[in-house]
Chain A
Amino acid sequence: EVQLVESGGGLVQPGRSLRLSCAASGFTFPDYAMHWVRQAPGKGLEWVSGISWDSGVVAYADSVKGRFTISRDNAKNSLYLQMNGLRAEDMALYYCAKDWGPLPRGYMDVWGKGTTVTVSS
């Protein structure tokens, strides 16, 4: 079964850091680009970041550029999102999603259930 399982969310104070993880199974993880997409409470979907199959291409939304870093470990079938300088507006459910192709510019055909990030003092 194709599966993505996110972890690492939690309550964090403004300005602090958090690292999200996504464990992939059921498909050849190294062959595909991956994304992080978030959804603030009661709001729509917002693409956050994407990474190519070989980590050669990374992309970020303007809202997180310079604060968030996406990475992957193909040997561990894992995707990560390092979030620094967290703000109240970063509070959301963060989804890990698989791209249909090797570059992070396609549609997302598999999604995890998400991990919640709460930013509050």
Chain B
Amino acid sequence: DIQMTQSPSTLSASVGDRITITCRASQSISSWLAWYQQKPGKAPKLLIYKASSLESGVPSRFSGSGSGTEFTLTISSLQPDDFATYYCQQYNSYSPPFGQGTKVEIK
């Protein structure tokens, strides 16, 4: 089974910062990667699919890149609403694993 590993587990940042979260797959997954945002007490929300395609309605400060085994989620200028936990997920298989999550907290 494919394993997904995110880093860092926790990231402390300030409003206005540019931040990057990394997700690595244990084997090549082409561009079959999605990113989700989850705020405390809320359901996950899709941000990005196919590694770099922005879901409708998601602010353009969010971007994704990568292919194969290494992927990144970048927030170009962190806003107060962005403090949350972010998960990557491999798809295009019948057992789509999530990464363990990266919590973005206020510095």
Q: Which residues of A contact B (CB under 8 A)?
A: 37, 44-47, 50, 57, 59, 61, 95, 100, 104-109, 111-114
Cα of A50 to Cα of B92 in the assembled complex, Å:
12
Among A45, A105, A114, contact of B87 (Cβ-Cβ < 8 Å):
A45
Binary A-proximity of B46-85 (CB < 8 A = 1, otherwise 0): 1001000001000000000000000000000000000000
17 inter-chain pairs at a CB distance below 8 angstroms, sorted by A residue, are A44-B87, A44-B98, A44-B99, A44-B100, A45-B44, A45-B87, A45-B98, A50-B94, A105-B93, A105-B94, A106-B92, A107-B89, A108-B36, A108-B46, A108-B89, A113-B43, A114-B43
Which residues of B from 92 to 107 have beta carbons under 8 Å from A?
Answer: 92-101
B45 part of interface (Cβ distance < 8 Å): yes
- A109 and B46 contact, CB distance less than 8 A: yes
A47 to B95, CA, bound (A): 7
Which listed residue, A37, A44, A106, touches B101 by the CB 8 Å rule?
Answer: A44
Number of B residues with CB within 8 Å of any CB on chain A: 23
In contact, A105 and B46 (Cβ under 8 angstroms): no
Q: Is B34 positioned at the interface, with any CB of A under 8 Å from its CB?
A: yes
> For A106, what are the chain B residues with a Cβ–Cβ distance below 8 Å?
91-92
Complex interface: chain B residues within 8 A of A104 (CB): 94
A105 touches B91 (CB 8 A): yes
Quick one: given A95-B43, A114-B43, are A59 and B100 in contact (CB under 8 Å)?
no
Residues of A contacting B100 with CB < 8 Å? 44
Residues of B within 8 Å of A44, CB to CB, are 87, 98-101
Contact of B43 among A46, A61, A105, A111 (CB under 8 A): A111
